[in-house]
Amino acid sequence: MSAESPVIAIAGATGAVGEEFLRLLEERRTPFRQLKVLASARSVGRQLSCGERRLAVEELTEEAFAGVDLALFSAGGAASRRFAPVAVDAGALVVDNSSAFRMDPAVPLVVPEVNPEAIAGGARLIANPNCSTILMVTAVDPLRRAFGVRRIAVATYQAVSGAGAAAMEELRRQTAAVLAGERTEARLFGEPCAFNVFSHDSAVDPVTGRNVEEQKMVDEARKIWADPGLAVTATCVRVPVLRAHAEAVNLTLGRPATEAEARAALAAAPGVQLVDDRQANRFPTSLAASGRDPVLVGRLRGDESQAVEEAGGERRFHGFDLFLAGDQLRKGAALNALQIAEVALSG
């Protein structure tokens, strides 16, 4: 493999994540010898841009991976299951955004700020975690490293773009229709998405009551941290926002910490930006996170409903609350995948 100037393929280049890959390759000045943009037969011949380059979309086929060094997959689970093994056999390093291989014990599930060591084994197929999970573990990991984490309770406020480019279009169209006084119909989601907050559109397990997104946050957090007993509970909800998910997180730490200690751990963390101005009531927002790399973290406060130790004028909290916002098309998808590839190709 030519790691210094690889041939890169993006499978799903016309989608919401694919578009972000193209933007990030240009922004990060990622070196490559050739860039192949692949999508379904519907998009063949469409022109995409990566900086100054104009690229013609080719069909995603088994033959498309000949000579490819790095294949970035964001074309859905079915396409990944079919074509990712073909790309690996053709000699490519594959980073997959779908959920197809995430829980496969042989496939590393990686957030580079959190478990970069999982890349070191030389796997040729690496899975990118679910977007809500990536944002949560990036924000919580600095506290986990410093104090341990015993339990996480999270509620998400998820942008519609988590469901792809067509979902952004649906929110725009429905919003315009409502403002024009017209009737709207729910198409992609089971509910209207304009001016509405509703339970995540993934299937609900009839026995546990958890939806697929909530189960992913539990299972994937445990795998990333190699902590199968970690207590995690999630409630996943969509909000009428175009991009950038937000999450309210309540933690129980392994060892109690002062607010200053918890704040210092977050302030020093890679991939995290503290936005926590109590005086000005300025905290993370989905708009401020949109189009940006870091996960914005704020509203950090000791949880008075859990044990508090008071000694020498200091208060040490066993639990903390925080609020985060992060662009799930970037850190939650394309950026994280590219960071994985950068680490893997440099090793």
- Catalytic residue numbers read 131, 245
Look up residue 173 and give its two tokens. 């169209």
Residue 29 or 42: the one with the smaller Cβ distance to ligand NAP is 42
Query: Is residue 131 a contact residue for ligand NAP (CB under 6 A)?
Result: yes
Nearest-angstrom CA–CA distance, 107 and 180: 49
Residue 243 or 316: the one with the smaller Cβ distance to ligand NAP is 243
Contacts of 143 (CB under 8 A, 6+ apart): 149, 251, 253, 257, 262, 265, 266, 320
Give strand ranges (E) for 160-217.
198-199
Give strand ranges (E) for 40-83.
47-50, 53-56, 58-59, 70-73
Contacts of 190 (CB under 8 A, 6+ apart): 198, 201
* Selected binder of ligand NAP within 21, 25, 43, 194 (CB under 6 A): 43
Residue 97 or 252: the one with the smaller Cβ distance to ligand NAP is 97
Site string for ligand NAP, 258-287 (x = CB under 6 A): ------------------------------
> What is the phi/psi pair of residue 46, to 5°?
-60, 145
Query: Is residue 326 a contact residue for ligand NAP (CB under 6 A)?
Result: no
Query: Is residue 135 a contact residue for ligand NAP (CB under 6 A)?
Result: no
Query: Is residue 224 a contact residue for ligand NAP (CB under 6 A)?
Result: no
Q: Which residue is nearest to ligand NAP (CB)?
A: 15
* Selected binder of ligand NAP within 142, 162, 319, 326 (CB under 6 A): 162
Query: Is residue 16 a contact residue for ligand NAP (CB under 6 A)?
Result: yes
Nearest-angstrom CA–CA distance, 179 and 164: 23
Residue 115 or 336: the one with the smaller Cβ distance to ligand NAP is 336
The length of the chain is 347
* Selected binder of ligand NAP within 30, 138, 161, 290 (CB under 6 A): 161
Query: Is residue 329 a contact residue for ligand NAP (CB under 6 A)?
Result: yes
Are 326 and 244 in contact, with CB atoms under 8 Å apart?
yes
Partners of 160 in beta bridges: none
Q: Which helix (H) or strand (E) holds 217?
A: helix 212-224
Are 224 and 230 in contact, with CB atoms under 8 Å apart?
no
One-letter amino acid at 323 equals: F
* Selected binder of ligand NAP within 328, 331, 335, 340 (CB under 6 A): 328
| Binding segment toward ligand NAP, per CB under 6 A, in 72-80, 231-239, 255-263, 310-318 | 72-80
Question: Considering the complex, what minimum distance in angstroms separates the CB of residue 316 from ligand NAP?
Answer: 37
Are 102 and 110 in contact, with CB atoms under 8 Å apart?
no
Query: Is residue 30 a contact residue for ligand NAP (CB under 6 A)?
Result: no
Give the residues lining the site for ligand NAP (CB under 6 A): 12-18, 39-40, 42-43, 60, 74-77, 79, 97-98, 131, 161-162, 164-166, 328-329, 332-333
